[in-house]
Each structure stands twice: as C-alpha cells, then as structure tokens.
Structure 1
Amino acid sequence: MTDSKTRARGADKRRRLMAATARVLHQQGVERTTIADIAHAAEVPVGNVYYYFKTKDELIRAALSEHADHLARLTGELDRLPDPLERLKALVGAWVGQRDVAARYGCPTGTLAVELDKRAEGGIDAEAGDLIRSLLDWVERQFRELGLPGPGDLAITFVGAYQGMSLLANALRDPDIMTREGDRLIRWLDSLPESR
C-alpha cells in the first residue's frame, strides 16, 4: 500500500473517531462515555483510539472541534442567504429540524458546555464556551446587519431562547416544545422594528 493510501486511511479513521466522539458524548455524556464506546461507534479497534487520541481530554477536544466544524458549515450555508433576517429564521428552522435529537439528548454544545464546567479540569470548559461565543458572534452580526440597536443583547436573547427550548424539550422529552418555541422565535424576529 502506498504512503498516500495509508495516510488517507489514517485520516479517515481519525475523522470517524472525531464524529463518533461528538455523537457518543452527546448521547451519553462525558462521564459515562468510555474509550471502548467511542471505538465501537467509530468501528475502530479500541487500541487504535490511543494512536490518534492519547487521553479522554483529547477526545473531548475532538468533539468540540467537530461541533465547531458543524457550526461553521451551517453558518456558511446560511451566509449564502441574502437577507440577515432570513438567515436567522433559517437557523431557527435548522434548530427545529433537530427537535427529536434535542428532545432526547438536548443541545449538543450546550449540554457539553454544562457538563465540562462541572469537571473543572484542563480548561476544556472554556473551549466549549468559545464555541457558544462563536454562535453568539454570528447571530450578533446578523442583528447588526439589520441595523437594530443592541445587537449583542439581541443575540443573547436569541441564542438563550434556543438553549432554553432545547433544555425544556429534553427535560420533558417533548420535541413539540422546539416546534412551538421555534414559531414563537420567528414571530419575535418579525416583530423587531427594523425587520418588517
């Protein structure tokens, strides 16, 4: 096998491990997840995990990187829409589209941030906060483009509404909460003075 094929297989295995880590941590939480759980989900022998990630903290960072990549892809797609109000509404649509997952496991980033904050080890909790900050920054830019006063505060209200509806949908195991609150968030966006 050529070196390029070996590197490609290694990169694929690492990628599968990163995706599996993000998925399993979301579903089971940091403390309940084992290296074996991640290896099984990635369809990789357990020993191979340590070749790519030496510690559980490295795996957690890989999950955060996976979430950051997902957010970058999503906001990149939304940025193709010409109107910032439509971008925000499309983001709500994406959130509501994940209502069944949210009802079962909560928001992937929000639940991970809360769990990591309780660990208080290694500064990874701050990295999760940075990921939420990048979402807030993107949302704030949309409100700024709309010419609304207090775009940072509006971004907090908007993202806070999402985190709240995710938490309630999860706690009550009711995906319809995401639908109803998503509709309310759209109505709120439409009621803003400059968005009419």
Structure 2
Amino acid sequence: MTNSKTQVEGKIGKRERLIDAAMRVFYEQGVEKTTIADIAREADVPVGNVYYYFKTKDQFVEAVIAGHERVLADTLATLAPLSGPAERLRTMVRGWVDQREMAARFGCPFGSLAVELDKRDDGFRGEPARVMGVLVDWAHTQFAELDRPDADDLAIAFVAAYQGISVLTNTFRDPELMVREGARLERWIADLAGE
C-alpha cells in the first residue's frame, strides 16, 4: 500500500513527463500531426492513463505553451545577473546558436508552435503572442538599458532576426546559417552598445 504523498508525487511526475513529451513531439511533428497516443508513447505512459491528466489535445497545447513560458522565464532569470544588457543579449544569442542542430531539423521550438497555432480560427486565444511578447519586452528592456531611444524597434529586430534565421536554418537544413547570424548579431549588439 502506498501513502498519499507517494501517490501525489507519482501524479505530478507523470503529468510533467506527459508535458515534456508533448513539448518534444509537438516540436518534432507539429500539433496537427500529433495524437494523444504519440504523446503517451513518448512519455512511456499507458494511453488510457493520459486522460486522467489531459482530456483533449488542446489541454496539452495549453500545458506546452505554459511549459515554453517557464523555459523562457528560467532563461531570463539565468541571464539577469550578467554584467550588463549587451552581455545578456549576446548570451541569449549564444544560447540560440547552441541549439542550431535542432533548429536545422525543426526550426524554433516556440516560433514553430506559434505559427502553427495562428492558423487556427481562434489563434489559441492569443497565448502564443503573449508569450512571444515576454521575449520582445525583455529585449526592449535590454536596449533601453543601453540608452537606445529606438529600443522598441531594436527589440523587434532582435527577435525577428532569431525567428528569421530559425526558419532559414530549418528550410536549408544548414546549422552554419545560425552560426553566421549569431556572429552578426553579436557584432550588431557590440556596435549598438558602443563597444
């Protein structure tokens, strides 16, 4: 007989495994091509047990969007103690470049999901735009700390450069494109910071 604490921990662990699996499978296959059975298989959870945690694929999508938001929040928290805005921006770029092999295969993890969900009539209630807005707002703050009066435009250019190179890296299946754009972005940041 298990105690209630063990049962709760098991439920949390299984739910988190399902969310992690959904994040991977949605990224690799897309939402439309993914079945709940695909997610269950990836999470090593019997498909019948999945419905205890998630009744629909849309509930998985909600959890995956929240998962991406947590990953972004964790990333931004890791960058916060760095020496200044230019270093935070450069470190973000390096993180993107480090993921170039996956970008070559599947594109940007969140950008790909946002584009797919935007094709739905409801656009998934604007949730992808809200999460993407967190990154744009963070970039704006960095450029504003560099005393740039054009921080709004620079923030959009920064995020657009990453999303654009993710699409090209994926389209041409060429991770080197991400390396080249990362180097260009680092030079651009240094110029804007007057370094």
Q: How high is the TM-score relative to the length of structure 2?
A: 0.97
Q: Give runs of aligned pairs for residues 90-105 of structure 1, distance below 5 A.
A: 90-105=91-106
Shift of 1:82: 2.1
User: Does 76-85 or 86-95 show the bigger shift?
Assistant: 76-85
Q: Are 1:30 and 2:31 counterparts? A: yes
Residue equivalent to 1:65: 66
Say if 1:175 and 1:146 are closer, same or farther in 2 by CA, change over 3 A.
same
Instruction: Extract structure 1 runs of 4+ deviating beyond 2 A.
Output: none
Q: Give runs of aligned pairs for residues 25-174 of structure 1, distance below 5 A.
A: 25-121=26-122, 123-124=123-124, 126-174=126-174
Q: Distance in 1 between the 2:50 and 2:64 partners?
A: 14
SS at match of 1:119: coil
Q: Distance in 2 between the 1:125 and 1:178 partners?
A: 31
Q: Distance in 2 between the 1:125 and 1:172 partners?
A: 32
Q: Distance in 1 between the 2:145 and 2:52 partners?
A: 46
Q: Are 1:14 and 2:18 counterparts? A: no
Say if 1:195 and 1:16 are closer, same or farther in 2 by CA, change over 3 A.
farther
The C-alpha deviation readout for 1:105-154, integer Å capped at 9, x for no partner, is 00011111110011223x51510111100010111111111111121110
**Number of residue pairs matched?**
194
Contiguous gaps of at least 5 residues in structure 2:
none
Q: How high is the TM-score relative to the length of structure 1?
A: 0.96
Preserved contact between residue 26 and residue 111 of structure 1 (Cα < 8 Å):
yes
RMSD: 1.0
Sequence identity percentage = 51
Contiguous gaps of at least 5 residues in structure 1:
none
Q: Distance in 2 between the 1:32 and 1:40 partners?
A: 15
Q: Distance in 2 between the 1:62 and 1:24 partners?
A: 13
The C-alpha deviation readout for 1:7-62, integer Å capped at 9, x for no partner, is 00100000011111111000000110000110011111111111111111100011
